[in-house]
A = this chain, B = another copy of it.
């Protein structure tokens, strides 16, 4: 109902909603009727993610039901998240092609039922070029490329060497607050509350920091080790390090605002992170 109210308040914008069950369609139909709005329906197809999505063989039935309930059917969503992180270019492309074939078959079945399937959407920063070049997908959904993160930077390009088309632009600034007496490690003020660890630890992007690595030190602490045994001289209490988050989405989610800086770290602009938090 909130979504329908939003659509009613902004009638100049196209709203669409993914569905994978008749329950969704019923709820959406009631909400659209109550607010006298049209929300385009996109049928989400189960293409291997095992998360949301109607089984491909049940797609036509669901699409028919969408139209029976008087809703506008716009197309299908075929997203496979795990494919984004397959390191090898060839293996990643092969995995996407399996999704493309399912999408093609579902679209054909819908069209064979006399229903137009305008939209085939999916893909992300790791795979968008495969979906975009497939001749089947009409829309791709990359987003992480803007910031990149440690994890996406491990993917390979067409030469099976590290993909360097996008560079990291998201950093967490952290300050050294303690140094071990024998200079084996330093403690920084960025822990689990400051940088997401679910796709591995951040790397350190600082001129004197090539041989530094980060390990979790708990909610408020990170531990910086020198990979050659001793910390470089530049690391001392008060030193500021730039961390490259292992995973950008849940890291951004922790902050109220972005600081946009120039090459000298002068703050040019501040953007509020309106959608931060649990996201419901």
Contacts and interface: CB of A to CB of B under 8 A. Distances in A.
Interface of A: 20-21, 23-24, 46, 50-55, 58, 81, 172, 175, 177-181, 185, 187, 189-190, 192-194, 196-198, 216-221, 223, 236-238, 249-250, 253-256, 277-280
A185 B50 CA distance: 9
B194 A197 contact: no
15 contacts: A46-B181, A50-B223, A51-B217, A51-B218, A52-B177, A58-B181, A192-B250, A193-B250, A193-B253, A193-B279, A219-B249, A219-B250, A254-B254, A254-B277, A256-B277
Nearest to A195: B278
Contacts of A172: 278
A7 to B, nearest CB: 19
A245 to B, nearest CB: 12
A197 B192 CA distance: 10
Contacts of A278: 172, 190, 193-194, 254-255
A180 B49 CA distance: 11
A200 to B, nearest CB: 12
A221 B51 contact: yes
A130 to B, nearest CB: 20
Contacts of A277: 193, 254-256
A247 to B, nearest CB: 8
B221 A52 contact: yes
A132 B253 CA distance: 38
Contacts of A221: 51-52
Contacts of A194: 278-280
A172 B278 CA distance: 10
A21 B198 contact: no
